[in-house]
Amino acid sequence: MRLPASIFLVALGFFFEAAVAGFLNLRGLEPDLLLAIVCSLAILQGAGHGALYGLLSGLALDALFGHMGFYSASYFFAAFLCGYFARTMRFDQWVLPGLAFLLAALLKEFYALAYLFFMDVAFAWGAALLKALIHCLFSACAFLGLHFLLSKLYGGDLFARGRRGRL
């Protein structure tokens, strides 16, 4: 039951990114719910599953927005990083998953800024770094709520293995 539920959650996050997130932006900032879903699944299911979900959702975003390879690489590495830290540090509290997601979101944002740097795009770097940090903090707030919900769902009651026929 975990795989269909995970695929449904990633598809729901992709729909949110593609159709709804533009309406919720606050001065150019909207929560990256797809990254939050992928990183939460990576923490709960492991680095391999999270990296796969990150790669597939990134490829879907690349196909939608026309940046082949950009989103897939950033979502892949962000999810793998969260899953790897969750396995090596044995996350139990709220602080460590939040910090791992914040680090992964910063990696994703700095990947975009590095791309702009190497393409010689002229813009205010201080404002861009501040906006990237605020965007990551905004997404981390959404991640903590979503991770709490998913950890309760995946933690034992609804999506646990071996409990057929009961909710």
Q: How confident is the model at residue 167 (pLDDT cuts 50, 70, 90)?
A: very low
In a domain, 16, yes or no: yes
In a domain, 164, yes or no: no
Mean of the per-residue pLDDT values for the chain?
83
In a domain, 60, yes or no: yes
CATH of the domain at 115: 1.10.1760.20
Domain count, the chain: 1
Q: How confident is the model at residue 78 (pLDDT cuts 50, 70, 90)?
A: very high
The better pLDDT of the pair 148, 25 is held by: 148
In a domain, 102, yes or no: yes
Residue 166 CA to its chain's centroid (Å): 31
The better pLDDT of the pair 160, 49 is held by: 49
In a domain, 162, yes or no: no
Q: Is the pLDDT of residue 162 over 90?
A: no
Q: Is the pLDDT of residue 57 over 60?
A: yes
Considering the entire predicted model, what is its pTM? 0.83
In a domain, 145, yes or no: yes
In a domain, 90, yes or no: yes
Q: Is the pLDDT of residue 14 over 70?
A: yes
Highest mean pLDDT among 25-39, 50-64, 86-100: 50-64
Domain residue limits at 135:
2-154
- How far apart CA 7 and CA 23 sit, in angstroms, is 24
Tokens of 38: 């992928």
In a domain, 166, yes or no: no
pLDDT of residue 156: 55
Q: Is the pLDDT of residue 39 over 50?
A: yes
Query: Given 3-state DSSP classes, what are the helix, strand and coil percentages for the chain, each rounded to the nearest 5?
Result: 75, 0, 20
Report the percent of the chain where pLDDT is more than 90.
Answer: 24
Closest Cα to residue 13, out of 45, 53, 47?
53
Highest mean pLDDT among 33-47, 62-76, 79-93, 147-161: 33-47
